[in-house]
Each structure stands twice: as C-alpha cells, then as structure tokens.
C-alpha cells in the first residue's frame, strides 16, 4: 500500500491538492448558497497553499524515490505512471512558481470579488488551468503533454472571453481560440509523424531513438520539428506566430491578462523546455540558429511596435513579446549548456512578477474609472508615492535597468547566449532593447515629470491588491540582490 502512496500520491500531491480544491469548489457551486462566498474564496486560496506545502516537502525529501522505476514492484498502472510522470528539480521549481502566481492572481481577484459574484466559476477555471499547467510541466509522455496543454488552454479561452457583454473580450477569446486550436492541431500532427516514425510516445525513448539514427536528413522528422516549432512558437508568442498575442492580451479582462502573461507564459516555456530540451535535443544544430534568429526578430518586433502604442495594456503586451524573445534566446542555448534552464526559470519568475504587478496596477486604474492611457498616469508618482515607486520598479525591471532583477535576468540570458552562440545575437538583442527603452521611459516621464493638476489619487478598495503589488515589487528587488534564492546558483 505504501508503494502506491510513495510512488503515486506523494509525487502527485501538489497537483492533487489543486484538483481537490477545484472539485470542492464545484461541489460548493452546486449548493449555491449566498453565505458560501467567503468559504469559496478560502477554498480557492487553500488549494495553492497546500500544494506549496507539498512542493516544499517534496523538495526536502532525499533524492526523488522513483528516479529508477525498474526497481518498483507493484501494480502495472503504477509502473506505467512512474514512466509518464517526471518529477525533477525543474518540475518542482515550476510547481513552486505556478502556485505563487496563482496565489497572487487570487489576491487580485479577491479585491473585486463582488463584480464576479454571480459567476464565480472563474475560481474553478483558474484552479483547473493551474492543474493543467502542472501536468504539462511534469509530463514525460507526449500524451500527457497534450492532455496538460489542452487542460490549460481550453479554460483559458473561456476566461479570456469572460466578460460576455464586452465585444473586445469576446473577440479576443475568438482569436485566441482559433489560434490555440490551430496550434494544437499542428502539435498533434507533429506527434503523429514522430509516432509514425518511431512508434513510441515516451519523450525519453524518442530522444534516445532520435539521437541514434542519422535523423538530421530524415524529412519526416524535420517536418515534425518544424510543426512543433510552430505549435510551441504560437504558445510562447514567438514571431511570426505572435499576431494573436496583443489582441488577446488587450481584449481579456486586466487581471486575467496578468495571469495569462505570467503563469500561462511560464507553463508554455515549460513546454518548450520539455520539447526542445528533451525530445528534439539531438537535432540541436538544426533548430538552435533558427530559434535564435526568431528570438532576435521577436525582440525587435516587440520593442518597435510598443514604441507606437497609446494603450498601456497593448504596450505591455508587445513588451511581453520582446521579453519572450529574450527567453527564447535562453531556450536556444539549452542544448549546449544545461545551466541555461535555470537562467530561463529566473527570467520567467522575475518577468512574471513584473507582469503581474503591472497589470494589478492597471487593474487598479480601471477600477478608479480611468482609461488605460498615458495621460491618466500623469503625476501619480507623487500622489500615491508607494504605488508610484512600485510601478517605477516594474518598469525599470522590464527595461533591464540594474538595481532591479530585470537587468540580471536579461544579463544571465545574454550571458548564456554569448557562451553558446557567440556575440552576434547578444549584440542584436542589446541594441534592440536600447531602442525599446523609450516607451518604458515614457511611463516614468508621465509618472513623475508631468504633474497634471487635475488627476485624483488612486483609491485602493482592498488592501489585498495593494499587498500583492508590494510583494511583486519587493520580490523584484529581493531577487536582484539574492539571485541564489531562486534555486539558480
């Protein structure tokens, strides 16, 4: 019996915690009592908290028990399970990050809970999206990978279109849905071709088989590589597959965009690491150069388009494309240097914190009835000093100015790229980020240097959003001074 506990329940505990929380929420939903609102939000909070507890517990247990499944003697499904569920350092890091992002998003939802009152299935969807992410990140088998991806994507399409009466939200959901489903089709096609060639869906075996024969010249494998590149490219927002991203981010409700930009992006890069750090590792020479060029192009496209934006949400959508470009540079460095995976993780967490913080701030502005234009930002720096400084930290971190973790994130990624692929891509990335500095500076200019006398102080209804923003800002400074804490060094 304890074999099942030790090999099934313990490793899956973080995921199961969220699943139970989701199920409990569904049950509570059926009861539909007025009084249960606070109970539902506590249950929603408990999910990630317990999952976090289990993650810490797992990370402290001595070497992960079932690293070699062959020694296991137990029911067949348990043996199969250990093959498809991969629990290593990276998964734990990603679990930790997903839980933190989920908690922060719930903090933001909590503040305007009344607005979602009558339709609080949002909490259920958010919980299950997180479950999907965790499965995606820990999948060791293409099937599980596909399941995790779909479990994450489908509810995301729904929450993007959550404001049914708002045209933009629905239009964003439509575009995201169409792109998403097309991406899934391409993923499945690539999996089908691989399966056709090698007859197995296990990533480990595939990597082994791919490395064996001379697959560099096998057209089928190359086609599947291309299709996979497109599918993953869509998910992480790499040019030329990123056209949907600005519209989806702008259309979706602000806090949802925050969650999408941080957690969903994190999971998508988890997918990218699993695929390109795992399955297609042997074909590195083929896709490394290509991916780096795509990365640099997306940085240019992200920064240049952001220069012309008036709407803050759309501006940060384009800036997230530029940031994705940087992370892809890290992914391209994976084959040559395993440490690059930690750098990607560091970048994802700091970028996620920045993104969540910024969109929490924008959410606050929307609640105060201000449209997300630069002019509404004028003079805020001095009217809400603490929030002003928090936004300044987010913007400086996004721009990559030293005191904040953003600079170190960019520095580590570029350092990896220089280590593995020479200076060319780093120089291009550096020049394009210099070009893109202007729109971040515009935020600082409006925040501190334009003192629009008319502007009123931003009223903060609930303290939880305030705390969440402070946590994000403080973490950006904390991670710059102690990068080690992120399990990176």
Site for another protein in 218-247 (CB under 8 A): 218-219, 222-223, 225-227, 229-230, 233-234, 239-241, 243-244, 246-247
In this structure, are residues 247 and 175 in contact, taking their beta carbons and an 8 Å threshold?
A: yes
Q: Does 401 bind another protein (CB under 8 A)?
A: yes
Note whether 211 binds another protein by CB under 8 A: no
Cis amide leading into 424 (omega within 30): no
Judged by CB under 8 A, how many residues of this single chain contact another protein?
Answer: 103
Please, which of residues 10-39 interact with another protein by CB under 8 A?
A: none
Between residue 286 and residue 325, which ones bind another protein under the rule CB under 8 A? 286-287, 290, 301, 304-309, 314
Residue number, 102 or 426, with CB nearest to another protein: 426
Stretches 127-135, 198-206, 356-364, 471-479: which one binds another protein (CB under 8 A)?
Answer: 198-206
Closest CA to 379 of 442, 310, 449, 438: 449
What does the buried/exposed string (b/e) look like for 339-367 if buried means 16 or more CB atoms within 10 Å of the residue's CB?
A: ebbbbbbbbbbbbbbbbbbbbbbbbbbbb
Q: Which of 245, 278, 248, 16 is nearest to 130 (CA)?
A: 16
List CB contacts of 60: < 8 A, sequence separation 6 or more.
Answer: none
Determine if 359 is a binding residue for another protein (CB under 8 A): no
Q: Judged by CB, which is closer to another protein: 82, or 111?
A: 82
Between 48 and 436, whose beta carbon lies closer to another protein? 436
Provide, rounded to whole angstroms, the least separation between the CB of residue 45 and another protein.
27
Q: Which residues pair with 311 in a beta bridge?
A: 373
Judge contact between 406 and 400, C-beta under 8 A.
yes
- Under rule CB under 8 A, which residues in 140-169 are in contact with another protein? 142-143, 146-147, 150, 154, 157-158, 161, 164-165, 167-168
180 contact partners, CB below 8 Å, separation of at least 6: 153, 156, 157, 234
What are the distances in angstroms from CA 50 to CA 11, 31, 42, 53? 14, 24, 12, 5
Establish if 477 lies at the interface with another protein (CB under 8 A): no
Q: How far is the CB of 174 from another protein (least distance, A)?
A: 5
Identified binder of another protein from the candidate list 41, 59, 200, 464, rule CB under 8 A? 200
Q: Report DSSP letters for 167-231, one per residue.
A: HHHHHHHHHHHHHHHHHHHHHHHHHHHHHHHHS--BHHHHHHHHHHTTGGG-HHHHHHHHHHHHH
Instruction: Compare residues 3 and 189 and give the one whose CB is closer to another protein.
Output: 189
Among residues 186, 273, 469, 473, the one that binds another protein under rule CB under 8 A: 186
Among 91, 61, 130, 68, which residue's Cα sits nearest to residue 278? Answer: 91
Q: Which of 6, 29, 121, 171 binds another protein (CB under 8 A)?
A: 171
- For helices 340-367 and 385-399, the axis angle rounded to 10 degrees is 140
Task: Among 51, 66, 93, 175, indicate the residue that binds another protein (CB under 8 A).
Answer: 175
79 binds another protein (CB under 8 A): no
Q: Is 250 in the site for another protein (CB under 8 A)?
A: yes
Contacting range for another protein; rule: CB under 8 A; set: 14-22, 116-124, 363-371, 412-420: 412-420
CB of 68 to another protein, least distance (A): 22
Of 61 and 212, CB closest to another protein: 212
> Site residues for another protein, window 428-457 (CB under 8 A)?
430-431, 433-435, 437-438, 441, 444-445, 448-450
**Nearest distance, CB of residue 46 and another protein, angstroms:** 27
Interface residue with another protein among 9, 23, 26, 196 (CB under 8 A) is: 196
Separation CA 249–CA 147 (nearest Å): 24
Angle at 9 between CA 8 and CA 15, to 5 degrees: 105
DSSP 73-122: -S-HHHHHHHHHB--SHHHHHHHHHHHHHHHHHHHHHHHTGGGGGGGTHH
Nearer to another protein, 75 or 199 (CB): 199
CA distance 338 to 3: 32
**Which range of residues in 3-11, 264-272, 422-430, 469-477 is near another protein by CB under 8 A?**
422-430
| Residue 290: CB minimum distance to another protein, A | 6
Q: Does 418 bind another protein (CB under 8 A)?
A: yes
- CA–CA gap between residue 241 and residue 200 (Å, rounded): 29
For residues 146 and 166, give the distance between their C-alpha atoms in angstroms, rounded to a whole number: 31
């Amino acid at each position: 019996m304890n074999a099942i506990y030790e090999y099934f329940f313990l490793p899956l505990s973080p995921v199961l915690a969220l699943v139970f929380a989701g199920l409990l929420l569904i049950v509570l939903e059926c009861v539909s009592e007025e009084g249960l609102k606070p109970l539902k939000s506590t249950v929603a909070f408990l999910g990630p908290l317990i999952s976090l507890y289990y993650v810490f517990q797992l990370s402290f247990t001595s070497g992960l028990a079932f690293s070699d499944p062959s020694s296991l003697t137990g029911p067949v499904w348990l043996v199969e399970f250990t093959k498809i569920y991969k629990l290593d350092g990276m998964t734990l890091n990603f679990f930790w990050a997903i839980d933190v992002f989920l908690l922060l998003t719930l903090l933001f939802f909590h503040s305007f809970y009344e607005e979602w009152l009558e339709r609080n299935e949002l909490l259920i969807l958010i919980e299950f999206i997180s479950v999907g992410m965790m499965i995606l990140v820990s999948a060791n088998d293409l099937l599980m990978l596909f399941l995790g991806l779909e479990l994450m994507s489908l509810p995301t399409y729904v929450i993007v279109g959550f404001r049914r009466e708002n045209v933009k939200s629905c239009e964003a959901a439509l575009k995201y849905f169409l792109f998403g489903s097309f991406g899934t089709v391409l993923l499945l096609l690539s999996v089908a071709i691989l399966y056709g060639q090698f007859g197995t869906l296990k990533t480990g075996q595939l990597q082994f088989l791919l490395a064996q024969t001379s697959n560099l010249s096998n057209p089928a494998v190359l086609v599947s590589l291309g299709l996979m590149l497109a599918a993953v490219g869509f998910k992480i927002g790499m040019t030329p597959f990123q056209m949907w991203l600005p519209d989806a981010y702008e259309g979706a409700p602000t806090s949802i965009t925050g969650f999408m930009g941080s957690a969903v992006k994190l999971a998508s890069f988890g997918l990218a690491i699993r695929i390109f750090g795992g399955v297609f590792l042997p074909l590195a020479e083929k896709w490394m150069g290509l991916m780096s060029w795509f990365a640099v192009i997306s940085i240019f496209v992200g920064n240049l388009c952001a220069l012309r934006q008036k709407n803050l949400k759309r501006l940060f959508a384009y800036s997230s494309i530029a940031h994705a470009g940087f992370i892809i540079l890290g992914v391209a460095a994976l084959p040559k240097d395993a440490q690059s995976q930690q750098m990607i993780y560091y970048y994802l967490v700091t970028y996620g914190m920045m993104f969540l913080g910024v969109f929490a701030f924008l959410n606050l502005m929307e609640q105060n009835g201000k449209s997300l234009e630069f002019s509404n930002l004028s003079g805020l720096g001095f009217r809400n000093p603490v929030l002003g400084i928090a936004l300044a930290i987010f913007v400086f971190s996004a721009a990559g100015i030293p005191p904040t973790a953003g600079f170190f994130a960019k520095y580590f990624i570029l350092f990896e790229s220089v280590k593995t692929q020479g200076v060319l891509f780093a120089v291009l990335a550096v020049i394009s980020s210099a070009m893109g500095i202007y729109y971040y500076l515009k935020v600082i200019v409006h925040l501190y240097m334009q003192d629009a006398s008319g502007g009123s102080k931003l009223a903060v209804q609930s303290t939880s959003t305030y705390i969440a923003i402070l946590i994000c800002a403080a973490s950006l400074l904390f991670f710059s001074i102690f990068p080690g804490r992120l399990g990176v060094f």
